[in-house]
């Protein structure tokens, strides 16, 4: 999928932005910072469950439930505050690592404000367009039957906030911290592949995971990261990640990585699960595999050519 003959040689030189203070990182190797940071940040994220267990809002037994059952047991509002608590704990650890280990600004992870509105808009549209294309392809092929629809069926603000937190949380960690640090010591395309593998592994514990869903999540990691390695910002992948999840689940009625939730459209899927995605949702579909490969190649060719101008 990538022309390896054009790959630049790996470098151990840290990229320095014009407005960055060129301090040397406390840990010299970018790949080592990525590994240690990902582990510590993930551990800190786990502290977010403590207030919920102490208050009884989530019992220890609930933590062993499948994610879909937990979501439906506690409801979207509790899951929203739970995710927010985990995100804030992870963000605190990430801030400490960025400041004292990387010796760089948090903004340099990919939050530069130059043209950020255009990047956000592109990501929002791309996510909606991709999942809508998949929905209508299955619908007109007879794999999806729409039973009914109700725009009052979901708590809009809660679901919007929930999936915004999910997008920020995963993108800042994987495409922000991990990918950025990997690119500091290895070729950017190898860094992209490693970060995509991490993204896929992070979802292995989801309900109804299959080989195809695991491969698709790896390709999704490539698709979300390819923009970042060319444009060096997170606005596009955050926005795309958000609209993909939000329209996939609460709007169009698919499972979101195996999690079934309330939705505007109540749909019934039938037919070959290799095409529909089965119980994992559309992310387990071979149709999506083809769509994401095409999308990744398009993004790569478009922004790689812009890079060379």
Q: Nearest to residue 246, comparing CAs of 227, 229, 261, 230? A: 261
Taking only Cα atoms into account, the Rg of the chain, rounded to an integer number of angstroms, comes to 20
Tell me if 236 is assigned to some domain: yes
For 54, half-sphere exposure in the C-beta direction (CA atoms, 13 angstrom radius) is 5
Q: Is the model more confident about 35 or about 205?
A: 35
Tell me if 33 is assigned to some domain: yes
Neighbours of 278 (CB within 10 A): 20
Is residue 5 scored above 50 in pLDDT? no
Mean pLDDT score, 180-199: 95
Q: Looking at residue 17, what is its pLDDT?
A: 43
Kindly indicate the confidence band of residue 2, based on its pLDDT and cuts at 50, 70 and 90. very low
Range of the domain at 45: 25-307
Is residue 1 scored above 90 in pLDDT? no
Rounded Cα distance, 256 and 245, in Å: 6
CA distances for 195 relative to 9, 219, 254, angstroms: 19, 11, 26
Q: Nearest to residue 205, comparing CAs of 273, 263, 280, 131? A: 280
Tell me if 5 is assigned to some domain: no
Is residue 55 scored above 50 in pLDDT? yes
Tell me if 12 is assigned to some domain: no
Q: Per-residue pLDDT tens for 227-247?
A: 999 988 999 999 999 999 999
Q: Looking at residue 306, what is its pLDDT?
A: 64
Distance of CA 165 to the CA centre of its chain: 10
- H/E element, 144: strand 144-149
Tell me if 19 is assigned to some domain: no
Is residue 222 scored above 90 in pLDDT? yes
Q: Looking at residue 301, what is its pLDDT?
A: 92
Tell me if 20 is assigned to some domain: no
| Tokens 């860094």 found at | 191
Tell me if 152 is assigned to some domain: yes
Q: Per-residue pLDDT tens for 129-178?
A: 999 999 999 999 999 999 999 999 899 999 999 999 999 999 999 999 99
Rounded Cα distance, 249 and 241, in Å: 12
Kindly indicate the confidence band of residue 20, based on its pLDDT and cuts at 50, 70 and 90. very low
Is residue 309 scored above 80 in pLDDT? no
Tell me if 17 is assigned to some domain: no
Mean pLDDT score, 92-111: 94
Q: How many structural domains does the chain have?
A: 1
Q: Looking at residue 63, what is its pLDDT?
A: 84
Where does 171-210 have alpha helices with state H?
Answer: 179-183, 188-202
φ/ψ of residue 147, rounded to 5: -80, -50
Rounded Cα distance, 175 and 238, in Å: 9
């Amino acid at each position: 999928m990538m022309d390896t003959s054009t790959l630049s040689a790996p470098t151990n030189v840290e990229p320095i932005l014009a407005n960055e203070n060129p301090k040397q990182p406390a840990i010299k190797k970018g790949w080592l910072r990525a590994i240690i940071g990902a582990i510590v940040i993930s551990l800190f994220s786990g502290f977010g469950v403590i207030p919920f267990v102490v208050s009884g809002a989530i019992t220890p037994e609930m933590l062993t439930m499948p994610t879909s059952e937990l979501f439906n047991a506690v409801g979207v509002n509790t899951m929203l505050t739970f995710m927010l608590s985990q995100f804030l704990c992870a963000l605190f650890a990430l801030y400490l690592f960025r400041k004292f280990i990387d010796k760089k600004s948090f903004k340099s992870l990919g939050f530069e404000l130059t043209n950020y509105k255009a990047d956000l808009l592109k990501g929002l549209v791309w996510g909606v367009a991709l999942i809508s294309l998949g929905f209508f392809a299955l619908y007109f092929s007879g794999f999806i039957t729409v039973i009914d629809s109700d725009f009052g069926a979901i708590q809009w603000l809660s679901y919007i906030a929930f999936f915004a937190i999910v997008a920020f949380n995963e993108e800042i960690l994987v495409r922000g911290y991990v990918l950025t640090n990997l690119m500091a010591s290895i070729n950017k395309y190898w860094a992209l592949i490693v970060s995509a593998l991490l993204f896929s592994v992070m979802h292995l514990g989801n309900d109804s995971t299959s080989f195809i869903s695991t491969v698709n999540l790896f390709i999704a990691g490539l698709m979300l990261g390819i923009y970042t390695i060319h444009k060096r910002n997170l606005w596009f992948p955050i926005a795309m990640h958000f609209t993909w999840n939000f329209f996939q689940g609460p709007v169009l009625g698919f499972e979101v990585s195996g999690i079934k939730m309330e939705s505007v459209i109540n749909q019934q899927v039938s037919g070959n699960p290799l095409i529909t995605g089965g119980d994992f949702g559309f992310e387990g579909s071979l149709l999506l595999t083809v769509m994401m490969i095409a999308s990744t190649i398009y993004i790569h060719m478009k922004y790689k050519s812009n890079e060379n101008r």
